[in-house]
Chains A and B, each alone.
Chain A
């Protein structure tokens, strides 16, 4: 199992243990983690699964694709160097744990 830690804007924390191969968006939506919407179901199409990945995990992430890059420019909350789409980050091999901060709003 892989561990995902979601830090909510208000200070609450959700910790999930999920099957390897699960995206941050899918893990959040399946387990009712508020703060991730995931309207488009993971097609890098809606920019409502925006997360800020904690520094120490950034190097382990896959490259940002063109589609993700374009969509990160459309997020409601400001894009930073730590911004990723939760649907494009999958835990498992090379990333058995990750911690992210959630933006205040996705819509």
Chain B
């Protein structure tokens, strides 16, 4: 008997809609996981992989599960970045980032810049006063300004970074193929190219510690630099913003855990890890199957387009007890929110330093009795990318 004959057929989840996924994907993921590790989902036009084990297998086998997807939305929105390449091509691009995002550079260069940015936007949040939205007055500009300086866009503003990131991310997640989304994404694509063309000669003459400065003198094709910068804009702004927002929302919604953290600020890294497990900011990413294969007992044909749903894998009860619950005291287990294998998030240390090291402790230290606004409920949304779209908060003025 062949392996194929032993494999289970993949069920179709025709009951899944993009609208429902956007509002709250987790009940959908739970139902899918309980039924099978892989489904064909007509609304998304791809197979969705929702078990921890299957997602983990995929990210450690780039020969069967290629990142270099045909007709990729991300390639269209951002160009062919390292995120859609396999090794050895991926490795060349990855190494071009050097040490810019690694812990030593964070300690020596970036932490001071993150602190200055946090001071600046926390002052903006305080000036807006109780009732202000923590995402739009603080988390978003903070993450954007950090990223702008790490990348070396001295000719752009944090508002530019936010617009570029959101419009190109909307393109990358445009599974509904909305033409207006593509138009806005393409406009940002061109603006980013122009900004790179303008800043590279400046950085050659005035080198600093930024990514673009490091790339300015490297024998890397411009096409790769442009695509990788767009990927980094998309992958380096909304994600720290969203983990910051989800972490604050989760703590404010769980008073016992909040009290525990306020009494012991060394727990903020655990808050960070649990927040990205609970709501992975990048909930799904694509892979393409290079040959007929069997994944956790499910038959997949060559060419199958997969959605690797790490947002679901991170709530797999086979790995995480009581997975739907936010619990900073749960036994430590490796989650898949940063991806794994060769595409493991290059910005993971930057996110941990800027969010768990600086932003969260400072927010709770400087905003006495920080709390949700009962008159204006917080809103979480999204599935390919998920975070808080509104987070109005109150606090006591000192």
- A: residues with CB less than 8 A from B are 29, 37, 39-43, 45-46, 48, 66-67, 70-71, 73-74, 105-107
Q: Within the complex, what minimum Cβ distance (angstroms) separates A90 from chain B?
A: 17
B60 within 8 Å of A by Cβ?
Answer: yes
A67-B102, A70-B104, A73-B103 as given contacts; A45 in contact with B333, CB under 8 Å:
no
B94 within 8 Å of A by Cβ?
Answer: yes
Is B332 within 8 A of A46, CB to CB?
A: no
Is B104 within 8 A of A39, CB to CB?
A: no
Q: List 28 A-B contacts (CB under 8 A).
A: A39-B334, A39-B338, A39-B340, A40-B340, A40-B341, A40-B342, A40-B344, A41-B60, A41-B340, A41-B342, A41-B343, A41-B344, A42-B342, A43-B94, A43-B342, A45-B102, A45-B346, A45-B348, A46-B344, A46-B348, A48-B334, A66-B99, A67-B102, A70-B102, A71-B103, A105-B332, A107-B273, A107-B333
- B: residues with CB less than 8 A from A are 60, 94, 99, 102-104, 273, 332-334, 338, 340-344, 346, 348-349
Q: Which residues of the partner chain A approach B332 to less than 8 Å between Cβ atoms? A: 105, 107
Q: Which residues of the partner chain A approach B338 to less than 8 Å between Cβ atoms? A: 39
Q: Within the complex, what minimum Cβ distance (angstroms) separates A46 from chain B?
A: 6
Q: Which residues of the partner chain B approach A105 to less than 8 Å between Cβ atoms? A: 332
Is B102 within 8 A of A37, CB to CB?
A: no
Q: Which residues of the partner chain A approach B344 to less than 8 Å between Cβ atoms? A: 39-41, 43, 45-46
Q: List the A residue with the shortest CB-CB distance to B104.
A: A70
Q: Within the complex, what minimum Cβ distance (angstroms) separates A83 from chain B?
A: 15
Q: Which residues of the partner chain B approach A45 to less than 8 Å between Cβ atoms? A: 102, 344, 346, 348
Q: Within the complex, what minimum Cβ distance (angstroms) separates B95 from chain A?
A: 9
A43-B94, A43-B344, A45-B344 as given contacts; A106 in contact with B334, CB under 8 Å:
yes
Q: Within the complex, what minimum Cβ distance (angstroms) separates B62 from chain A?
A: 9
Is B334 within 8 A of A107, CB to CB?
A: yes
Q: Within the complex, what minimum Cβ distance (angstroms) separates B72 from chain A?
A: 21
Q: A46-B344, A107-B334 are in contact. List 9 more A-B contacts (CB 8 A).
A: A39-B338, A39-B344, A40-B341, A40-B344, A41-B342, A66-B99, A71-B103, A74-B349, A107-B332
Q: Within the complex, what minimum Cβ distance (angstroms) separates A34 from chain B?
A: 11
Q: Which residues of the partner chain B approach A37 to less than 8 Å between Cβ atoms? A: 334
Is A74 within 8 A of B103, CB to CB?
A: yes
Is B341 within 8 A of A41, CB to CB?
A: yes
Q: Within the complex, what minimum Cβ distance (angstroms) separates B354 from chain A?
A: 15
Q: List the A residue with the shortest CB-CB distance to B336.
A: A39
